[in-house]
């Protein structure tokens, strides 16, 4: 039997290059899921899917087209028409609607303010779940990050993680990220927003934020970024049977 090709970005970070692998990372806002997912994917030679970007893109489309946010059918129809895709040549992959990049638009404050409401729309979630599974068929070696990736979208994932952190720490991290891009929000304000978003994300009927039973819980409250990435990489290597 031919030996499988190995990817080795750092000593110890090796998984066979021909082995399909889905790693899911779920958890509430402000746990650093996106940056951790990107770093883990890089270390292991996997692609990365930011599913929050898809819900943010749907929200930006609804807002920019002045669609009534209660008009579920109109939102789903317009988002389906936009044929959301990622440009995989960008690092990290950038989301496109009607083949146009949405870039910073999806990170703006007005999008963040209503994205929980939009992402609670059941038929929209069904559309996104289908898309995410199709993406995984095209990118079978994937780190997929969001709220329902291990629980709903990829129940058979190779390894599932649930990242958590104390809400005050999450609020501090988010406020500091926003300050870096010139938006001033106090930690107290951010804490209220985060708690509201956590509540909306975890109480919706479809694809709520839950910790999958078989997920590895990583509490990042007292961990630094490299420590979190090392922990996840170590678990993936162990579970992938290397």
The region of 66-74, 111-119, 179-187, 217-225 touching ligand DC under the rule CB under 6 A is 111-119
Pairwise CA distance, residues 4 & 18, whole Å: 7
Using CB under 6 A, which of 116, 151, 158, 220 touches ligand DC? 116
Sheet of strand 100-101: strand arrangement:
85-87, 94-97, 100-101
Residue 131 or residue 147: which is nearer to ligand DC going by CB?
147
Q: Is the peptide bond before 64 cis (omega within 30 degrees of 0)?
A: no
The pattern of x and - marking residues 184 through 223 that bind ligand DC according to CB under 6 A reads -------------x---x----------------------
Count of alpha carbons within 13 Å of 10, Cβ hemisphere only?
11
Taking the complex as a whole, how short is the minimal distance between the CB of residue 198 and ligand DC, in angstroms?
Answer: 9
When binding is defined by CB under 6 A, the residue of 43, 141, 147, 173 that contacts ligand DC is 147
Q: Which stretch binds ligand DC (CB under 6 A): 36-44, 96-104, 114-122, 178-186?
A: 114-122
Long-range CB contacts (within 8 A, 24+) of 233-236? 233/12, 233/13, 233/40, 233/43, 233/44, 235/159, 235/161, 236/15, 236/21, 236/23, 236/40, 236/44, 236/158, 236/159
Tell me if 142 sits within 8 A of 240, measured CB to CB: no
Q: Is 38 in the site for ligand DC (CB under 6 A)?
A: no
Q: Which of 24, 31, 38, 119 binds ligand DC (CB under 6 A)?
A: 119
Which residue in 21, 22, 23, 29 binds ligand DC (CB under 6 A)? Answer: 29
Does residue number 56 form part of the binding site for ligand DC (CB under 6 A)?
yes
Task: Specify whether the CB–CB gap between 212 and 150 falls below 8 A.
Answer: yes
Residue 163 interacts with ligand DC (CB under 6 A)?
no
State the Cα angle at 226 between 224 and 227, rounded to 5°.
65
Q: Binding of ligand DC at residue 160 (CB under 6 A)?
A: no
- Which residue ranges make up the site for ligand DC (CB under 6 A)? 29, 51-52, 55-56, 115-116, 119, 146-149, 197, 201
């Amino acid at each position: 039997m031919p030996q499988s090709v190995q990817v080795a970005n750092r000593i110890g970070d090796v998984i066979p290059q021909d082995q399909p692998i889905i790693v899911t990372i779920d958890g509430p806002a402000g746990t650093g899921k996106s940056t951790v997912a990107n770093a883990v994917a890089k270390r292991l030679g996997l692609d990365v899917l930011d599913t929050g970007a898809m819900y943010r893109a749907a929200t930006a489309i609804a807002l920019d087209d002045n669609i009534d946010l209660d008009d579920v059918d109109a939102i789903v129809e317009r988002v389906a028409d936009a044929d959301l895709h990622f440009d995989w040549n960008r690092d990290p992959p950038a989301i496109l609607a009607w083949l146009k990049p949405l870039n910073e638009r999806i990170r703006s404050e007005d999008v963040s303010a209503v994205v929980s409401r939009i992402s609670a729309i059941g038929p929209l979630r069904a559309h996104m779940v289908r898309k995410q599974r199709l993406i995984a068929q095209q990118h079978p070696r994937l780190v997929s990050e969001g709220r329902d990736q291990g629980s709903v979208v990829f129940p058979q994932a190779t390894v599932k993680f649930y990242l958590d952190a104390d809400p005050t720490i999450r609020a501090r991290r988010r406020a500091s990220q926003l300050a870096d891009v010139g938006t001033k929000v106090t930690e107290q304000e951010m804490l209220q927003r985060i708690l509201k978003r956590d509540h909306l994300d975890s109480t919706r009927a479809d694809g709520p934020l839950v910790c999958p039973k078989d997920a590895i819980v990583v509490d990042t409250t007292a961990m630094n970024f490299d420590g979190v990435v090392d922990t996840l990489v170590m678990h993936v290597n162990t579970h992938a049977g290397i």
